[in-house]
Amino acid sequence: MDLTVNVVGLGYIGLPPALMMAAHGVRVVGTDYNRDLVARLQGNEVTFEEEGLPDLFRQAVENGIRFSADYQRADVYIVSVPTPYNKTTRKIDPCYVTAAVQAVLKVCDDSAVIVIESTISPGTIDRCVRPLLGNRPIRLAHAPERIIPGNMIYELVHNSRTVGADDPETGELIRSVYASFCQGEIVLTDVRTAEMSKVVENTYRDINIAFANELSHICHEAGMDVYEVIRIANRHPRVNILTPGPGVGGHCISVDPWFLVGDYPDLTPLIHTARSVNDGQPEFILQRIHEVMKARNIGVTRVGLYGLTYKEDVDDVRESPTLQLLDLMDSHLSGGLVQVYDPFVKRTLAPNQHDSLASFLEACDLVVVMVGHSELREHPELLDGKVVFDTRNILTGGNVIHL
Ligand code: SAJ
């Protein structure tokens, strides 16, 4: 393919497709305004943990991928920058997207196509990006990412994806860029439908996790095993209930539904309630911890939270249920007293955070499993002799208490 692609934003979402395209023979330059990040990538450092990423990185480097802090002249730009939301208005804050597009506009030709990969609330491109073009005939597209942290490389290749474009010709061009590596179906549509369908996908999952979490409350009250109830209900051919847990973290599912609530407050009672149920789950966990502490006569300083990331086997702590729980504990003046450990997190994020499992276990009698990292799945005997409150349903045994 005789095109140059400039991927703008080299974080969790931008780096994998940049590497993937380069590994499949596309001429790629990766740009990030964070010069430190660019320097690390230029030094061949794989900047986050993800299975298969180091190999992919090597292939991309062999094929000549370049990293630069300067925006490039290219045929296609793929913008993968963060899209935070305003916690008060519940609306998207598009500042990183608009800043990236403004930077691209300074260097690009009028024949360029700018693709937004970042998740954005429906209407953002027309409202905030298109006006930046002025009278220039630059074309826009939206190709929202769908990869799941923990299985990114496989999903990049095998998932179906959506390309929303201004016209069919642009859609086909962008489809050909993604088809360089994507074996899934690439569906063409318009920009607004692509924006809406992405947010709808994550909202669907949030609502379904909320249902599972609500069932955990009902079953606890009824003295029943929620996992057994779900296991049996899921034998029905049209029922597929998700798994209750300590809450919903990550920067996607816990954020995107708010875009719809923020823009359509009168039309989203279900979505709003589901968000509130999932945001309230750490509070349910706190209440359950107190019950276990009381029943087993364990003091707060001997309680340990295992896992700080938002889910298993990733190093991402954004919106993590454990951090939400620690915030809640802080308001009860006990946050600084519990022990904390995560094998994937080296930065210190909490007082009493241990850097080894051995010292963590030494310090606690009750282990609250907040994240089901493989370490525990593969070696459940590590927790022998402890009282375990397992919020992820990965362990069994006489001393294990479930949700
Ligand atoms: N969780 C549960 N119970 C479940 C499933 C998940 O409590 O049954 C929790 C997880 O532990 C985690 C949170 O929900 O805290 C979200 O995890 P996840 O694995 O469901 O999803 P993410 O946030 O890692 O990735 C999602 C994916 N979206 C969908 O599955 C619809 C992914 O495909 C998207 O690319 C990604 O959001 C994104 O970037 O938008």
Does residue 209 line the site of ligand 1, with CB under 6 A? yes
Task: Give the mean pLDDT per block of 10 residues along the chain (403 residues).
Answer: 94 95 97 96 94 96 96 96 87 94 97 96 96 97 94 96 97 97 98 97 98 98 98 98 98 94 95 98 97 95 97 94 95 84 96 96 97 97 97 95 96
**Hey, how many other C-beta atoms are within 10 angstroms of the C-beta on 91?**
15
C-beta of 307 in contact with ligand 1 (< 6 A): no
Q: Which pLDDT does position 172 carry in this prediction? A: 98
| Ligand 1 pocket member 161 (CB < 6 A) | no
Is 252 part of the annotated catalytic residue set? Answer: yes
pLDDT value, residue 334: 75
Q: Residue 21 is which amino acid?
A: M
pLDDT of amino acid 72: 87
Q: Can you give the pLDDT at residue 170?
A: 98
CA atoms within 13 A on the CB side of 354: 21
Residue 96's pLDDT is 96
Distance CA 273, CA 34 (A): 37
C-beta separation of 129 from 101 below 8 A: yes
Q: Residue 330's pLDDT is what?
A: 86
Q: How far is the CA of 44 from the centre of ligand 1 (A)?
A: 29
Residue 110: what pLDDT? 97
Using a 6 Å cutoff on CB, does residue 249 contact ligand 1? yes
Are 403 and 288 in contact by the 8 Å Cβ rule? The answer is yes
pTM of the predicted model, to two decimals? 0.94
| Ranges of H-type helices in 142-265 | 152-158, 168-178, 191-222, 226-233, 256-263
Q: Out of 148, 204, 256, 278, give the residue to mutate to test ligand 1, the one with the largest number of ligand atoms within 8 Å of its CB.
A: 148
Q: CA–CA separation, 313 vs 150, rounded Å?
A: 7
How high is the pLDDT of residue 87? Answer: 82
CB contact at 8 A, 7 and 80: yes
Handedness of CA 53, 54, 58, 64 (dihedral sign): positive
> Measured between alpha carbons, how far is 203 from 274 in angstroms, rounded to an integer?
9
Ligand 1 centroid–CA 66 distance in Å is: 31
User: Can 311 be counted among the known catalytic residues?
Assistant: no
CB 248 near ligand 1, within 6 Å? yes
